[in-house]
Amino acid sequence: MPRLYNLLLIAILCCASQANACICDTPPLEEITKKAPFIAHVKILYNEQGIGNSATRPIRIIELFKGDSVKKIREYDMNSSCEVGLQPGEEWILFAYYDSIKKIYSVGACTASRMLKNKDGERGSTWSWGQLDGTLKFLRNYFGHASPDPVYVSGKYKNYYPNGQLEWEASYQNGKLDGNRKIYYANGILWQNENYKQGKKDGVLQRFGRSGQLMDEMHYAIDKIRYSSYWYDTSYESRSMAIMFESRTFDRRINDSILQATPPVIQKSAEAVYDEYGNYHSKRYDRTGWLEAEMYAYDLSTNKVTCEYNKTGLLVFEEIVTKYNERIVDKKWNEKGELISHKEWEKGKYLGDKLAGKPKDNK
């Protein structure tokens, strides 16, 4: 099975490398809302057979914001890097346009449609960053819709997935999150554990993978982040891909004690410390624990210093960017620790490489 997985993964990667990347210039949400003739919160019911790069998707409208109350939508750009990826059981906010030839609303590349829940009812990253509430609140305010969501006043509340599994449990005080909130995957594994004080994050926030492994941890003080740390995913799929991309060969017999250890080694991938003004010092590590890079951002993040190191701990690169990019200093060292390049820019003008003895040429 592992060998089959690798062959399939290699084939997928090879095909993907030949596809064009999908690059979209996404306008602000308000502009998208004005232009799109159809906007709705829908559930994808089932797949109909498509032809070529398109297919019809039967839908059930949960909340219609703009356009006609239809039962089907057309999905284009399938089997490409721009595929929207509508799947049965998922909930989406669709920003669709009218296909005058097929006489149907359609979605495709760059239509800004986004998934709200997967087929199991999990909200995923929409819980993480508040995107679900933010998007729906904007649309409801824009079109004057009253929110159908329940109002949580004071006390402890729970919500459940369609399969009966607990989705979340939280404490509210005067309509605001106050105390602990736990969110679970549809399989019962804890996904997020966080704490609030009158609607603001306060204390530790933790996120876990489906295996139960701690992936992210953040410390807040009245909605201001003070410390964050992240860990590498130790799942089999993640480690297999790491071997493929971080090694010089696809040979599965690579003697790498970190990637192939049993049980897998849980290694921190990054961490950062923040002050009350938002300045920070961050560090990035590879899977063996080697410090790859550091970044210092200070003076309200308008001055930044980035440092990169080799595996012996020697500095190999340093970049200093001053306020509003008025001055940039770029330095490089070789493996012996000798400075080999010292370039500078001022207000966008290149001043030359000091070590090369080049004069200022204003290129």
Q: For residue range 327-341, list pLDDT tens digits in order.
A: 899 999 998 899 999
- What is the pLDDT confidence band of residue 91, given thresholds at 50, 70 and 90? very high
Taking each helix axis from N to C end, the angle separating 2-18 and 236-246, rounded to the nearest 10 degrees, works out to 60
- What is the pLDDT confidence band of residue 256, given thresholds at 50, 70 and 90? low
C-alpha separations of 142 from 32, 63, 71, 149, 150 in Å: 12, 14, 24, 17, 20
pLDDT one-digit tens code per residue, 18-30: 444 567 777 888 9
Q: What is the pLDDT of residue 5?
A: 38
Element housing 94 (H / E): strand 91-99
pLDDT one-digit tens code per residue, 148-159: 888 899 999 999
**Rg from Cα positions in the chain:** 25
With left for phi above 0 and alpha for psi between -120 and 50, is residue 346 left, alpha or beta? Answer: beta
Question: What are 203's strand-pairing partners?
Answer: 220
Handedness of CA 340, 346, 349, 351 (dihedral sign): negative
Q: What is the pLDDT of residue 124?
A: 66
Among the ranges given (52-66, 248-262, 347-361), the one the predictor scored with the smallest mean pLDDT: 248-262
Which stretches within 116-235 are classed as H helix?
125-129, 131-143
Is residue 129 over pLDDT 50? no
Q: Rounded mean pLDDT of 273-285?
A: 92
Walk me through the domains of the chain, giving residue ranges and CATH numbers.
Answer: 26-149 (2.40.50.120), 150-211 (no CATH)
Q: Rounded mean pLDDT of 130-147?
A: 81
User: Which has more confidence, 16 or 30?
Assistant: 30
Q: What is the pLDDT of residue 83?
A: 82
- Ranked by mean pLDDT, the top range of 120-129, 132-141, 143-152 is 143-152
How do strand 91-99 and strand 166-173 relate by DSSP bridges? Answer: unpaired
Cα separation, 271 vs 285, in Å, equals: 9
Cα separation, 358 vs 55, in Å, equals: 60
Q: Rounded mean pLDDT of 229-258?
A: 72
pLDDT, mean over the chain = 84
Specify the 3-state DSSP secondary structure of 102: coil
Question: What are 160's strand-pairing partners?
Answer: 166
With left for phi above 0 and alpha for psi between -120 and 50, is residue 175 left, alpha or beta? Answer: left
